Amino acid sequence: MTEHNFEQMRRAMIASQLRTTGTNDPRVLAAMGEVPRERFVPEGRVAAAYADASVALKPGRELNNPMALGRLLTEAAPREEDRAMVIGAATGYAAAVLARLVGQVVAVEEDPELAAVARAALAGTGTTLVEGPMAQGHRAGAPYDLILIDGAVEIVPDALVAQLAEDGRIAAGIVEQGVTRLALGRKAGEGFAMAAFADAAAAVLPGFARPRTFTF
Q: What is the pLDDT of residues 141-165, one digit of tens each?
A: 999 999 999 999 999 999 999 999 9
The predicted pLDDT at position 101 comes to 98
Topology of domain 3-199, per CATH?
A: Rossmann fold (3.40.50)
Alpha-carbon gap, residue 155 to 131, rounded angstroms: 21
- The pTM of the full predicted model, rounded to 2 decimals, is 0.95
Alpha-carbon gap, residue 203 to 85, rounded angstroms: 18
What number is the average pLDDT over the span 111-135? 97
In this structure, the chain runs to a length of 216
Domain ranges of the chain: 3-199
Alpha-carbon gap, residue 58 to 195, rounded angstroms: 31
The predicted pLDDT at position 216 comes to 55
The predicted pLDDT at position 3 comes to 80
The predicted pLDDT at position 61 comes to 96
Residue 8 half-sphere exposure toward CB, CA atoms < 13 A: 6
**182-215 residue pLDDT tens:** 999 999 998 999 999 999 999 999 999 988 765 5
**77-92 residue pLDDT tens:** 999 999 999 999 999 9
**24-80 residue pLDDT tens:** 999 999 999 999 999 999 999 999 999 999 999 999 999 999 999 999 999 999 999
Q: What is the largest CA-CA distance in the chain?
A: 60
